[in-house]
Each structure stands twice: as C-alpha cells, then as structure tokens.
Structure 1
C-alpha cells in the first residue's frame, strides 16, 4: 500500500480565539512540510469538525486514516470523544483501516521545550536570580480526569528537580482546584522572591490570556514579589 493511501487528521481542541486557531493550523502546516496527506480538524468552536475531516479523508480515497490528537494530556477528549468519532466512521467505512495516535504526554521533547520556555523567561527578566529562590508555578488546563490533572503535577516536579527551582506549585485554568488566581495568591505566600508562571498550553487562546492577566494582577498587588511570565509552548519544530 502506497503512502498516497494514508491520511492523517490532526485534531485540535478548538478555540473561540482566532489567534489560538491560527497557531494550531500553523503547527499542522509545519507537520505538512514533513509528510503528505495531513489535514486538520477541531473538536469544538471551529470547523472542520473531526467527523467531517475523517469522512473527507475516506471520500478522498485514503485506505488508512490516522487520527492524531493535538493535545498534551489524555483526558475526556482523548479518552472518549475522539475514539467515539473513530468508532462511528469505522461503521460507515469498514474497508478503511482507522488508527488512533496518542497524545503528547510527558515526552522528552516536550520536557525540553518546557525547559527552554523557562530559560527564555529568565533571560527576558534582564537580571539573574537564584533558582533556589524561584517558585515555578505550572498552570494546567484543568479537567475532571484525575489522571490528567496528576500529570501536570508530575511535569512540575520534573521541571523543579531537573532545573533546580526552590519549589513548584500547580494550579488550573478551570474545572480542577486551585484555580489560577487563588493558586497564584497561595504561591505568593510561600516566601519565594520570584514566581515563574508557566501556562502548560500548546496554543494561545482565551485561557492563556486569562493566566497572564492573573499574573499581572498579582504583580501589581504585590510589587515586592517578582513575577515572571514564561511563554506557552506555541508551534515550533519540536512539536511538529
């Protein structure tokens, strides 16, 4: 079977923010530079939908279709929604072989990219500070899935120990507790000279902007505390 028979549908969560959708599609573009047959889809907030993109791949003649979730962690969308979409298409097109790829999880390349974002934020501060005096604050999306929430803690601990920070704290943009502002206020009371706030997100969007706004609000409220904002992951060669 030739490569022309293979289609890869990269599925993003979707965002109401045009910047978030543009960045997702930019990442898919980077991937398309490396392989043929790649298209994109959204779970919500934008089109094409996952169902429509899968059906289009079948109608275009693909005999093998891979659904690749552009998600960091395996929560409800990755465990239930996307496999459900595949199950429906399998019934419609029994002659087509469907495959489901995994989410990023804590892949070594992802960890290195996170570390790079930390270093970039420290360099942008314009002055040095001991990492032992810095509290890393990792902000996850938040989900009702405890396994996905726990993975954010695991990542934070790996970054803390691997880079020598004085501590790590985790909060979430929604669903799970503590939420961003409450989490930042609690983190500020732990006695560190510097907080390094890192949104664990692939793309820009409403939630990322809220995280940065909360960090700015904390800095204005407590000017004696240095609050750095690390960049989110954003499209790059490591992710493609």
Structure 2
C-alpha cells in the first residue's frame, strides 16, 4: 500500500457551462504540476464541472495529513467568502485529523497589474501606437452583487491609470452590475477617443468571453470612425503560476493574510481562522445577518462565466439552476 501523502494542494476553480473554459483550467493544472513535480496538486470546481468541490475536498482530507485549498479565482465574492469556507468547515468536522488551510484568492495585486499593463501595450502596438491621450481603455470584468469584488476591479483600473499615460481608463461589467461595455464606449467616444482598448479581466474562456468578442465586433460597426482592440483572458500568464506558488508557500510558512476576504464583516473571524488552519465550533447563521453584504445573493465573482439570463441579470439563489 502506498503511504498516505503528507500534503495535497487543492485548486478550486469556479467552473463554466462552456467546457472549453473548464478544459483550460485542467490544462493550467497540468502545467502547474509540470512546474512543481514534487507537489501533489489536485483540481476541483465549485459548479458546472467535475470533480465537485465538496467531494474533492473530502477525498483530499481522507488521503492527506494537510490540505492547502487555493482558489483560482480573481475576486472575492460569494464563492470565496462563504461557499469555500463552508465546505472546509464541513470536511474539517468529518476529518478532524487533517489540517485544512485556505489561501486567499488571487486578489488585486501588482502581478495582475503587470499582466494588464502588458496586455495594454499589446493593444497599443496592434493599433500602431496611437496617442494614449486619445485612446480610451476599458477594464471589463464579470461583475458581482458584492461591492468588495467590484471594488477590487476598480482598484486595478485606477492603478493602471496611475502607471501609464492614458487619461481615460474606465471600468465596465458584463453582468450583475453597471456600467456595461456599450455605455462606457459611448461615453469615451463622446469625450473624443479615437481608439478604444478593451481589456477583459478574466482568467479563462467561457460564454462571457465569447460574448465580449461579439460585443466588440458590434461596436466596430456602430462606431466605424473608432478603432478597437480587444484583449484575451490571461489565466496562463506566468504571474498566475507565481501567485499560486506564493499562496502555497505562504500557507506553509504560516504567513498571516492581510487580504482577509471579508473586511468589516461579522464573519471576519471565521475567514481568519480558516486561513490559519484553526477550528471553531460556531456556524454561519445567514438568517441572523440580513444586512451582511456578502454577495450571497450569489452574484458571484465568476472567473469566466455565469450568465444567468434573467431580465436585468438578477443573481441566482442557492439551489436554483444557474
């Protein structure tokens, strides 16, 4: 019989209805394994694709003495703040002999900014290096009902503006919240922009990335006097692998996480405990915290797609089909 592995690193991806997005996450996992052959790296998805998170987490806990849970997710909304910690609590109760530790999501950080800056340079090159003061930029993300998740994107747009020569860098969302790409481009054209660079803030492909490219094609027809460049998702950039490496090393070293997923929230202690591998007896009473702004209406930060298709793009509730 093989010895029980000491440690399992469990990647948590969101999952997409478009399997090409799930396949890219599987490919990322294979590439990370190749970079770290001494690590036992497993993959699970929160929804839409196997292996399912709860079952994969339980399997990892039963076969390891320590499980490091590393979300491959850009922004912290309902999944990162609630669903992943809840799954960990359930498995921790079932496998008390196993230490389970939760890393922060990828977050708004300098490595992500480096990717955006590189993608912006690529767009400017494709447009034959126009004047940045007449070239608008749109950072385009998924959108969430969680203000913190949207705020992380706003921070990235601001950092991008402060480190470059573009005078107009705006934020837009593909769903859940506002503004949308069409409205932002309309404003930029009214302000005299002659070129527009659209930078999707997505890790992997999916139905929403496909929609973005269709929207940009429509905008080209709507504004024939404006040149457009649309970037690609960026989940295979070197910075993503390095961030995942750092999450693992920080957990192993016991580095405290200053990016708690729920600042100012009544569940902050729970999130803190999960990051440090501590156990606690109390549970989450959602009904007791109606004012808790968690995005637990499930306007999640979906790293690639979660198009609910409802009027006004209302978010779905747990137990309802997405």
TM band (smaller chain): over 0.9
* Structure-1 separation of matches of 2:224 and 2:194: 11
Match status 1:81 vs 2:113:
no
* Number of aligned positions between the proteins: 237
* Pairs within 5 Å for 1:26-45: 26-35=27-36, 36-45=39-48
Question: Cα offset for 1:3?
Answer: 10
Question: Are the aligned partners of 2:134 and 2:193 in contact in 1 as well (CA < 8 Å)?
Answer: yes
* Secondary structure in 2 matching 1:9: strand
* Structure-2 separation of matches of 1:76 and 1:193: 38
* Structure-2 separation of matches of 1:96 and 1:188: 57
* Structure-1 separation of matches of 2:115 and 2:47: 27
Match status 1:179 vs 2:180:
yes
Instruction: Give the 4+ runs in structure 1 shifted more than 4 A.
Output: none
* Aligned equivalent of 1:105: 107
* Structure-1 separation of matches of 2:8 and 2:86: 18
Q: Report the TM-score when normalising by structure 1.
A: 0.93
* Aligned equivalent of 1:122: 124
- Work out which structure has the larger RCO, using CA pairs closer than 8 Å and 6 or more positions apart in sequence: 2
* Aligned equivalent of 1:58: 61
Question: Cα offset for 1:134?
Answer: 1.1
Q: Report the TM-score when normalising by structure 2.
A: 0.70
* Aligned equivalent of 1:153: 154
1:73-119 alpha-carbon deviations (Å, 9 max, x no partner): 11111101111110110111011000000011122211111111111
* Structure-2 separation of matches of 1:3 and 1:166: 56
1:201-237 alpha-carbon deviations (Å, 9 max, x no partner): 0001111111121111111111001111122213132
* Aligned equivalent of 2:216: 215
* Aligned equivalent of 2:275: none
* Structure-1 separation of matches of 2:187 and 2:212: 15
Question: Are the aligned partners of 1:109 and 1:238 in contact in 2 as well (CA < 8 Å)?
Answer: yes
* Aligned equivalent of 1:237: 238
* Aligned equivalent of 1:225: 226
* Structure-2 separation of matches of 1:180 and 1:136: 11
Two-structure CA RMSD over aligned residues (Å): 1.6
Question: Cα offset for 1:42?
Answer: 0.5
1:154-211 alpha-carbon deviations (Å, 9 max, x no partner): 1111112212112111111111111233333333333211111011000011111111
Gaps of 5+ in 1: none
* Structure-2 separation of matches of 1:106 and 1:161: 15
Question: Are the aligned partners of 2:5 and 2:64 in contact in 1 as well (CA < 8 Å)?
Answer: yes
Question: Cα offset for 1:121?
Answer: 1.9
